[in-house]
Amino acid sequence: MRAVFLQIFLFMLPPTVLFAPQVGPLAYYWFSWMNPHRLVFISLDFQWGKIIAITTLFIWIFSRNNRSLIWNYVTVSIVLLYLWTIVTTYFAGFQDAAFDELQDWSKIVLMCIISTALLQTRARLHAFVWIAVMSIGYVGVKGGIFVLTTAGNHVILGPPGTSIAQTNEVARALLMTIPLAFYLYMHSYWKIIRIAMLIVTLLLVLSLIGTNSRGALVALIGMAFYAWLYSRRKVRVIAAVAVLAVAAISLMGPDRLSGLTERFGTIDTYEEDSSFSGRVGAWNYAVDVAAKSPIVGDGFGTFLYGYRKAAHSNYFQVLGQHGYIGLILYVFLCAGAFFYCGGIISKTKNRPELYWARDLAFMLRCAIVGYLIGGITKNHAFFEMFYMELTMLVITGAIVNRELAKIVELEPSNEDLALAPRPLPSMQ
């Protein structure tokens, strides 16, 4: 019976977008990450994401009531990178594979741009964050509980047949969801929701550890250190982490932790690890490709079909696929997003009514830090969640600018003060 109701609900989503276009991006990302159509007993293996994306685009184009697109440094950088990938696809060495990847990348960019137009209110942005946390949290909570009950003796995998099915893919999704879950803990109204989101955050961390991804673990440590570095309660944070570590050991038992400690103990022996030599080989291949074609690279698919192995780095992935120009555009995008977060934090520093935006910008900056660190040894340069969170960042900045403009309009100008009637002199 539950499966029947879920199927009816899924079929009703595309028509709903016709009357409420803002539902389109939320439904798209829900289908992309949680894959609800795979949770029913009778699998509805349609291309739901593409159907909703096309419907949302159609309604947005012909609707007059939606806001215009947000253009700033981040969105312009995304579009420039996208346009350059079109050029490199034309010169790609593996045309069919390059065109297939370009289609997926086009869908990512399209939904990023449309989302900036349809989700320009705080309520819609908050719903956007909730969709991301619930979708990945569904996997992370189950994985975290599984780690607790099995002591990490089994590797956590994502839903089969999805983009996060493998350990590294689900690990990077969990990594970038942790800051968003913590933001909901900070800014949820109901206390029970805050407690629940704190538990979800901890389970996401456990699930990430259970993926057996050493690169994600290093990225998590780097992200946590960055957050701690700018925390106002450093001693309390260290004490809380110590208490949680002791609680985890007591629940799981020291003997049952051996599966995790042995697994991550190989980090310090990376030079003897065959995977490290494989990474170096992939990086050398990217440099060789860029040496032969420094402007456009070899296009999408060069690692899969030319080297027949993964790139093992965001930066070498972009270098080999899109040349030095593509790498420059990608680095400028990442750096610009990082500093754009700082701009939002500075603008909202003395505005208590905008502290929610300050905290969201900081959490997104933490996610960017984790993404950049993880990208040193894992290739996810065109990972959709990264661009989804950049979209959240762009919308946050637009809302902040709009709210600050309203405040400036309400404040009297110098000319208004000069024309204002002066008070009568005191008679005393």
- Residue-wise pLDDT for 149-185, tens only, equals 776 667 777 777 777 878 888 899 999 999 999 999 9
H helix intervals, 294-413: 314-347, 355-374, 384-410
pLDDT of residue 405: 86
pLDDT at 323: 92
Tell me the whole-structure pTM to 2 decimals: 0.86
Of 329 and 416, more confident: 329
* Tens-place pLDDT, residues 256-268: 555 555 555 555 5
Tokens 């120009």 appear where? 325
Q: How far apart are CA 208 and CA 187, in angstroms?
A: 24
Q: Among residues of the chain, what percentage have pLDDT more than 70?
A: 75
Q: What are the tens digits of pLDDT across the range 194-207? A: 999 999 998 998 88
Q: Which two tokens stand for residue 411?
A: 């404040």
Name the strand (E) or helix (H) holding 79: helix 73-90
Residue 425 has pLDDT above 60, yes or no: no
Contact 268, 262 (CB under 8 A): no
DSSP track, 271-301: GG-HHHHHHHHHHHHHHHHHHHSTTTTT-TT
Question: CA 118: distance to chain centroid?
Answer: 18
The secondary structure of 9-78 as a DSSP string is: HHHHHHHHHHH-TTHHHHHHHHHHHT-GGGSSSS---S-HHHHHHHHHHHHHHH-SSSPPPP-SHHHHHH
Q: Are 84 and 322 in contact (CB under 8 A)?
A: yes
The pLDDT of residue 409: 61
The more confidently predicted of residues 386 and 407 is: 386
Residue 317's pLDDT is 93
Q: How many residues appear in the chain? A: 428
> pLDDT value at position 243?
63
pLDDT tens track for 101-114: 999 899 899 999 99
> Which contacts of 230-239 are long-range, i.e. CB under 8 A and separated by 24 or more positions?
230/362
Say yes or no to pLDDT of 344 above 80: yes
More confident residue, 142 or 150: 142
Q: What is the mean pLDDT of residues 96-102?
A: 90
The pLDDT value given to residue 33: 82
- Tell me what pLDDT residue 177 has: 94
* Mean pLDDT, the chain, whole residue set: 81
- Alpha-carbon gap, residue 138 to 133, rounded angstroms: 8
What confidence tier does 227 reach under pLDDT thresholds 50, 70, 90? confident
Average the pLDDT over 282-310 and give the result: 88
pLDDT for the residue 329: 95
